[in-house]
Structure 1
């Protein structure tokens, strides 16, 4: 029996050769709509918008050149924006297939936005990649990962429009929490597809069983990360390091926390100079984690982050 990291070559393209337009077109033809951004994101957002919030349409994704549709992009902002208050940025759905990143953001807007708006300016982008949400996909229709494209001149419209929205609406950001998931399909589909697209080799790592955080190597803020882990472990279990002391090949800095060079990688968490920044990673494929529990973990992380900022603001 093959070892768990032995995978056949991805069945699009030639191993060792990066994809061209033909391979990308074949990949796109395979993608199917599996749920509705309008029904599952926009409609609930409109139905549950608290009076302390205003809804902004910050752009539109136009994929008609690929035979696809147009997707409106929405953000939620504090209605009473006050100069001098710290600003909190919450982003979700950078990877559309990571469901609790979107649904957790919507739940937080519904249940907790009003309370947080009493102390902070708030900006929430709950679903940055709506086509990815509908097709349960990591990439956009151009086979680009938006969470590697948060950089000047970004070729991914999802990333470029999100950065423009934040720059226009938020100014200086004190806290940025980006809501994500790590799923089993990262090994079964998206990792092999990326290797094939880039003409590289897929490096298998075990998917961590549980919640973890990804901090920034330039702004690690270990006490901040620890506070979030302590809050989330009341909701769901925290991922343990593997035998090498790693999660997905990265050295664990403390229980449930690894760091990435966010700016170098073009990650969403790099788009501001926030003092406190983190990426949540929920594990929805755990046999002990329900969708409601995954959403609750995201909400707990956001609330813990805001609570930490509250105390940090008083001390500074």
Structure 2
């Protein structure tokens, strides 16, 4: 097991240790000030849907998704999710930036469902996990232990079912940070009573495609768009990124449905998980947000040219 202040060597956490972990978390920023307050700037072309609350504090953590107001059943449908891991700031802010400044012009061609901050408690506590020490991005199962995952799945599936048309694409916005090695992987090792090696954090942007439907040209279009904003992650000393084989510059694959990832819970034909590296000396908070937006617009431009 990695060194971690909670738990016993090689023994998974019990409920008392999970409670101890929860009690050690502190509020570090405001969901209301940094996320909810920006919604007023989103065009009336998009309807604000209140799809649930987090049970830890219903008044503090309402959940919202924006959908195209004048839904057109003849247009393809696109899902954008940010903040599945709440601490990954640019995913949240990038989704909002896209909604405010770019979504209106793309609405001529697509219907959108955008959930900017799936895990607001994680956003405020700068955390990867839920309050019950689950990773929401390993929790997109039919019956989930993560309220964040369950509520999002219920809303998206219910909405799409009512509109009688499947999703064409899903952009799931994430970051890879130095705290993966300093906090979150050690916590995971302690929680599960395992030894988990640190990995080489990639310096730059990359995408994670779905092993079953990688849509490589789509991923490459995203990389080409983001490359105009920030640098693309090179492979590590073993020719990999976070342990996965590179299938193209800045592109790796995960089997998303088997890993219960957010990117695997729909039947979307085109799926990408973006990964921004905010800790790079060459990155700024704004450039990270711009990279997320460039990933979305690059992918949408590709779909306009290539998808039926």
TM-score, length-normalised on structure 2?
Answer: 0.96
Which of residues 65, 80, 86 is equivalent to 2:76? 86
Judged with a 3 Å threshold, the aligned counterparts in structure 2 of structure 1 residues 121 and 8 are, in CA distance, closer, same or farther, namely: closer
| Residue 116 of structure 1: how far off its partner (Å) | 1.1
Per-residue CA distance 1:78-132 (angstroms, 9 max, x = gap):
0010112100100000000000000011100000110111111100000000000
Which of residues 94, 110, 121 is equivalent to 1:120? 110
Per-residue CA distance 1:236-279 (angstroms, 9 max, x = gap):
00000012110011111110000001001000001111110000
Which of residues 275, 281, 285 is equivalent to 1:287? 281
Is 1:177–2:171 an aligned residue pair?
A: yes
| Residue 10 of structure 1: how far off its partner (Å) | 1.2
Is 1:217–2:207 an aligned residue pair?
A: no
Aligned residue pairs total 304
Query: Residue 265 of structure 1 corresponds to which residue in structure 2?
Result: 259
Per-residue CA distance 1:145-165 (angstroms, 9 max, x = gap):
000001111110000000011
Per-residue CA distance 1:18-49 (angstroms, 9 max, x = gap):
0011111111111000111111111111x211
| Residue 168 of structure 1: how far off its partner (Å) | 1.6
| Residue 69 of structure 1: how far off its partner (Å) | 6.4
Q: After the TM superposition, list the runs of 4 or more consecutive aligned residues in structure 1 that deviate by more than 4 angstroms.
A: none
- Secondary structure in 2 matching 1:103: helix
| Residue 58 of structure 1: how far off its partner (Å) | 0.6
CA distance in 1, matches of 2:258, 2:9: 27
Is 1:146–2:136 an aligned residue pair?
A: yes
List runs of 5+ in structure 2 lacking aligned partners.
none
CA distance in 2, matches of 1:125, 1:230: 25
CA distance in 1, matches of 2:2, 2:111: 49
Q: Do 1:101 and 1:298's aligned partners in 2 also have CA atoms closer than 8 Å?
A: yes
- Secondary structure in 1 matching 2:102: helix
Alignment RMSD, CA only?
Answer: 1.2
Query: Residue 48 of structure 1 corresponds to which residue in structure 2?
Result: 41
Matches within 5 A, 1:178-197: 178-197=172-191
TM-score, length-normalised on structure 1?
Answer: 0.94
Q: Do 1:62 and 1:69's aligned partners in 2 also have CA atoms closer than 8 Å?
A: no
CA distance in 2, matches of 1:155, 1:188: 25
Q: Do 1:282 and 1:297's aligned partners in 2 also have CA atoms closer than 8 Å?
A: yes
Greater displacement, 127-136 / 50-59: 50-59
Q: Do 1:241 and 1:247's aligned partners in 2 also have CA atoms closer than 8 Å?
A: yes
List runs of 5+ in structure 1 lacking aligned partners.
1-6
Per-residue CA distance 1:201-232 (angstroms, 9 max, x = gap):
12111100000000000111010000000010
Query: Residue 60 of structure 1 corresponds to which residue in structure 2?
Result: 53
Q: Do 1:63 and 1:69's aligned partners in 2 also have CA atoms closer than 8 Å?
A: no
CA distance in 2, matches of 1:26, 1:33: 16
Is 1:130–2:120 an aligned residue pair?
A: yes
Q: Do 1:12 and 1:26's aligned partners in 2 also have CA atoms closer than 8 Å?
A: yes
Is 1:227–2:227 an aligned residue pair?
A: no
Per-residue CA distance 1:158-203 (angstroms, 9 max, x = gap):
0000001111223410000000000000000000000110111121
